[in-house]
Chains A and B, each alone.
Chain A
């Protein structure tokens, strides 16, 4: 038989089945696109795109496009024209907010500037500055210049504690105002600590689960899963009850005389770590368990019969076989911890806040969504980097989640 017709016949015969199969996954595909791909794309876009200034201040924008260097009379008159426009359209607040993101205390400058713009007489270079000396600030003009482009990297710069000075050079923000880098570092450090504690606590439990007779291991498994069946808030608040200064643990410690002073165990980093370890522990135990279950005791026995002490047998024979589970569990716990929000918000106090809490702050309080998006994007990039590193070091196909 000829090769071509056979191939075509096969394709024709299979195309119906393929179409039907595609039809079956379409709902899920749509769901993922609508709820996952689109929002993430939107978020990434928002982190580099903010046209609040560019849209509402066309004249200064045009001046910035044609000139660089210090503002002249033409620049000031364009600015005043825009301020008048802003007053008319009631957009001065929006514009001020955009500039305020990068230069503190400038929102009111724009709102009051717009209010008085109609009364100003040329030359505007003097009259506007007489009205408020801040209009002459070269850094303000620098910020306006960047903001006149709808697309900007300034949110990423800010998220990395960087800013532009009056000449447009990228510099570090002053010591006192740098918050993000140290918070990223703290988030990763605490997440690493939480992952390590989870591994240390979870490994023996998973081993027990994998080796106990079925009836007992089922019971233990229920205990491990029990936290999943309880509301996250309930679990977190019960930690508050336990850990607070007048809480159960402190009362016990003092009553038994182990300590005289009550230990601060909540509303700080300790509280965040304790509560998050508890919440994330099952995510470590389950992948470990699924890797350990099929490892038969014969391996360790063989190692022992070959002359290895129980420690050597564990280290050289058992442990290497559980690496896929350790990798999966650690990656899972770490990624979850890096983005965790509710628990640090409730029990973290001031020092136990993580980067996600700051993202939430920008979403809900300062309403600087671009900043929140930039921070989230950096977090995403860091996690992807980690994933890539893991793939290079251990191999992602080696990972076993269940």
Chain B
């Protein structure tokens, strides 16, 4: 998996981290981030995302391995000399300073003169559309406004790299979506490199150039959003990103399109991902929206399964149908709510199938 991490703007090279000397919180992290890239670290709580960010920012030291920024190892560089902008989850705006003073802080400690300072502050505030708020205290701002100021403060000194640790975690859904757009726009306009941490997969999918899925201190998969969603490489990624159906079975026939015999005896089509030999146990993962029940939508000679409709939930844009399939009671099928759509009723039986490319036979772990 680790190919060329030699060059890249930010490089984690076999980085390990332990807080207590007993367990590794980050186990062998290898990651190369290109200049101008928007990379998201996505993973469940406690998977080590913040730890990685803190090591990059200089607040935690790597137990082993090298972190390089622009080609230079930075393990020994103190945080204030790294020139990395950072946005914290709870903003960490200085409560005793006004917004303008908050923004002036990074410029003052860099010894930038007053007139240049004011020009930069104005520019940064305009950038986040907060030009009129310079004289306010952080406590007098709403959550979303504080968020913008935190962003402006992290950008005002023109850092090449900006780290964001769940910056939108405290905002409501609508504001979050708006800010996602704003951050993305700033990233595109300024050409900065962003390392973004979140455990919201929707956020990760909409914003990122690439996503690193973390679990248990390791990167499970590093890929652009579409690839991550459509071609998950292991069961963790398949179940962490989006919804998926799982069917257990054994490999009957290997090849570019293989056959899997389910525990109940039926045969289904699948694409082998990390299973190689006949007789191996596997879990087949299928996205609910790729399941079909109309024969004309399925590829010719596709294997089909008997399914009984248990429940249909009307969700507006889709009809979420729960099916009993091959001994499992929670097989989900999502049908688009179009004019010609066949409405299924509970108790009805249908035959379901899918394109073999959409069913991925994964290692059961």
Interfacial residues, chain A to chain B (CB-CB below 8 A): 296, 298-299, 301-310, 312-313, 316-317, 320-321
Chain B residue numbers with a CB within 8 Å of A298 are: 88, 90, 92
Q: Which residue of B lies closest to A312 (CB)?
A: B109
Q: Which residue of A lies closest to B79 (CB)?
A: A304
In the assembled complex, the CB of A370 is this many whole angstroms from the nearest CB of chain B, namely 48
Chain B residue numbers with a CB within 8 Å of A320 are: 96
The answer on a CB contact under 8 Å between A308 and B80 is yes
Give the distance in Å from the alpha carbon of A303 to the alpha carbon of B58 in the complex.
Answer: 13
Chain A residue numbers with a CB within 8 Å of B90 are: 296, 298
Interfacial residues, chain B to chain A (CB-CB below 8 A): 57-59, 78-86, 88, 90, 92-96, 105-106, 109-110, 153-154, 157
Would A299 and B92 be within 8 Å (CB), given that A306-B153, A307-B110, A309-B80 are in contact?
Answer: yes
Would A296 and B80 be within 8 Å (CB), given that A308-B109, A316-B105 are in contact?
Answer: no
Partner of A306, one of B58, B59, B96, B157: B157
The answer on a CB contact under 8 Å between A308 and B105 is yes
The answer on a CB contact under 8 Å between B86 and A302 is yes
The answer on a CB contact under 8 Å between A307 and B92 is no
The answer on a CB contact under 8 Å between B92 and A301 is yes
Partner of B105, one of A296, A306, A309, A321: A306
Interface centre among A302, A310, A316 (most CB of B within 10 A): A302
Chain B residue numbers with a CB within 8 Å of A299 are: 92, 94
Give the distance in Å from the alpha carbon of A343 to the alpha carbon of B252 in the complex.
Answer: 91
The answer on a CB contact under 8 Å between B88 and A307 is no
The answer on a CB contact under 8 Å between A317 and B94 is yes
The answer on a CB contact under 8 Å between B96 and A321 is yes
Would A307 and B94 be within 8 Å (CB), given that A301-B88, A302-B86 are in contact?
Answer: no
Chain A residue numbers with a CB within 8 Å of B96 are: 320-321
The answer on a CB contact under 8 Å between A307 and B83 is yes
Give the distance in Å from the alpha carbon of A361 to the alpha carbon of B45 in the complex.
Answer: 68
The answer on a CB contact under 8 Å between A305 and B94 is no
The answer on a CB contact under 8 Å between A302 and B92 is yes
Chain A residue numbers with a CB within 8 Å of B59 are: 301, 304
The answer on a CB contact under 8 Å between A307 and B157 is yes
Partner of A305, one of B84, B95, B110: B84
Give the distance in Å from the alpha carbon of A213 to the alpha carbon of B146 in the complex.
Answer: 29
Give the distance in Å from the alpha carbon of A67 to the alpha carbon of B92 in the complex.
Answer: 78
The answer on a CB contact under 8 Å between B85 and A305 is yes
The answer on a CB contact under 8 Å between B105 and A305 is no
Q: Which residue of A lies closest to B59 (CB)?
A: A301
Could you name 28 residue pairs across A and B whose Cβ atoms are closer than 8 Å?
A298-B88, A298-B92, A299-B92, A301-B57, A301-B86, A301-B88, A301-B92, A302-B86, A302-B93, A302-B94, A303-B105, A304-B78, A304-B79, A305-B58, A305-B79, A305-B80, A306-B86, A306-B106, A306-B109, A306-B153, A306-B154, A306-B157, A307-B106, A308-B80, A312-B109, A316-B105, A321-B95, A321-B96
Give the distance in Å from the alpha carbon of A321 to the alpha carbon of B84 in the complex.
Answer: 25
In the assembled complex, the CB of A338 is this many whole angstroms from the nearest CB of chain B, namely 30
Give the distance in Å from the alpha carbon of A190 to the alpha carbon of B59 in the complex.
Answer: 42
Partner of A307, one of B57, B80, B93, B95: B80
In the assembled complex, the CB of B109 is this many whole angstroms from the nearest CB of chain A, namely 5
Chain B residue numbers with a CB within 8 Å of A308 are: 80, 105-106, 109
Q: A306-B157, A308-B105, A309-B80 are in contact. List 9 more A-B contacts (CB 8 A).
A: A303-B105, A304-B59, A304-B78, A304-B79, A304-B80, A305-B57, A305-B154, A310-B80, A312-B109
Chain A residue numbers with a CB within 8 Å of B79 are: 301, 304-305
In the assembled complex, the CB of A196 is this many whole angstroms from the nearest CB of chain B, namely 23
Give the distance in Å from the alpha carbon of A386 to the alpha carbon of B92 in the complex.
Answer: 35
Interface centre among B78, B84, B92 (most CB of A within 10 A): B92
Q: Which residue of A lies closest to B110 (CB)?
A: A307
In the assembled complex, the CB of B317 is this many whole angstroms from the nearest CB of chain A, namely 40
Chain A residue numbers with a CB within 8 Å of B154 are: 305-306
Give the distance in Å from the alpha carbon of A303 to the alpha carbon of B157 in the complex.
Answer: 13
Chain A residue numbers with a CB within 8 Å of B106 are: 306-308
Give the distance in Å from the alpha carbon of A312 to the alpha carbon of B84 in the complex.
Answer: 17
Give the distance in Å from the alpha carbon of A302 to the alpha carbon of B88 in the complex.
Answer: 8
Give the distance in Å from the alpha carbon of A299 to the alpha carbon of B91 in the complex.
Answer: 9
The answer on a CB contact under 8 Å between B109 and A307 is yes
In the assembled complex, the CB of B227 is this many whole angstroms from the nearest CB of chain A, namely 32
Chain A residue numbers with a CB within 8 Å of B157 are: 306-307
